[in-house]
Homo-oligomer: A and B are copies of this chain.
Amino acid sequence: MRVESEESRTDLSIFASASVSLEQIRRPIERELDQFDAVFRRALKSKIGLVDIVTRYIIRQKGKRVRPMLVLLSAKACGPVSDRSFRGAGLVELLHTATLVHDDVVDDADTRRGFASINAVWKNKVAVLLGDYLLSRGLLLALEQHDVDFLNLTSIAVKRMSEGELLQIQKTRQLDLTEETYLQIIGDKTASLFATCTEIGAASATDSASLHQALRSYGENLGLAFQIRDDLLDYLGKKSIIGKPTGIDIKEKKLTLPLIHALRNGSRKDARQALRTIKDGAKEKQIEWVMKFVKEEGGIEYASERALTFAALARTNIELLPPSSSKESLLGFIRFVTEREK
């Protein structure tokens, strides 16, 4: 007996499969994403040749468009997708791209002040300037329609993102981090933009304040689960899967949840040794020892559990949404961030 429509079968398939893919999550808004691409391409256009070259490169890479997806799914789950939804999606993607470009600034200073080669000059300067340019494009996109609410949400996100990163740098220097501060950092640097995406999506499709708040909370919790999982992958993944060497956070003296838990759970002696090793700049052998220490002290399980807790909160946040394929995709997103292997 076949009672399901084509669409609902698609949704169910998300939950039948062992793990959910972004392709599946994307399905309810495939057409909208195409429209978004056009808006985004238009917003990036510039009369400056150098800007166009770099932005065309960005468009070609395209990325996973996770943030526009969150905007459009949140919108469609709350009401009809509107022009405001596309503008919101463009705004967050411009903002996200700006931060990615700024992240590209090579962390390499102090060494050769003065007259660097012109090739070197371009790299960092262009990254900083292009990031600023993208940010202003995003602002202007919102301002074109006097969308003060979106601008407010976005400015708060920019502030939280930079504060989170700066707090992390400060704490890295001090090698002293509690779980509470860790959660504040990842809330600011990662979850703030997720929450902005989902709230902007909801605000573009409905006037219901309770839905705005529900989607915002969903985004915040999803972001926390996402970042905990992301930090966990550094302890789980293999080089070939995550595309970067395992243990890089240890090398970079970055304390994340698995290690924070192990330091708190392990013996004073082991914890001291781990911190000293990290502080002095750990080499391969020593990194292996720290990883073993984290595993033996239950750091992996603890961080996994915490990610699942925030995932469960996110699920509760959107219980009030009416059933739809977009709601299913928002639920699929939760599974995606907690299950992903890379």
Q: A residues touching B (Cβ–Cβ < 8 Å)? A: 46-51, 99, 102, 105-113, 115-116, 118-126, 128-133, 135-137, 139-140, 143, 146, 148, 151-152, 155-156, 158-159, 161-163, 165-167, 169-170, 172-173, 251-253
Beta-carbon nearest neighbor of A253 in chain B: B118
**A132 adjacent to B109 (CB under 8 Å):** no
**Given that A107-B116, A112-B111 are contacting pairs, would A130 and B166 also be in contact in the complex, using a CB cutoff of 8 Å?**
yes
Q: A108-B124, A124-B109, A136-B162 given as contacts; is B115 within 8 A of A251 (CB)?
A: yes
Q: Which of B105, B133, B143, B253 contacts A152 (CB 8 A)?
A: B143
Measured CA separation A253–B117 after assembly (Å): 11
Known: A102-B128, A136-B156, A136-B158. 13 other contacts (CB 8 A): A46-B163, A48-B170, A50-B170, A102-B132, A105-B105, A106-B124, A118-B172, A118-B253, A126-B169, A129-B169, A131-B132, A140-B159, A146-B148
Interchain CB contact (< 8 A) of A133 among B50, B148, B162: B162
Q: Measured between C-beta atoms, what is the minimum distance from A57 to chain B in Å?
A: 14
A-B contact pairs, 28 of them (CB 8 A): A46-B163, A47-B163, A48-B163, A50-B170, A51-B163, A99-B132, A106-B110, A106-B124, A107-B121, A108-B108, A108-B112, A108-B113, A110-B120, A110-B123, A111-B111, A118-B252, A118-B253, A128-B128, A129-B165, A130-B162, A130-B166, A132-B135, A133-B163, A136-B156, A137-B159, A139-B139, A140-B155, A148-B148
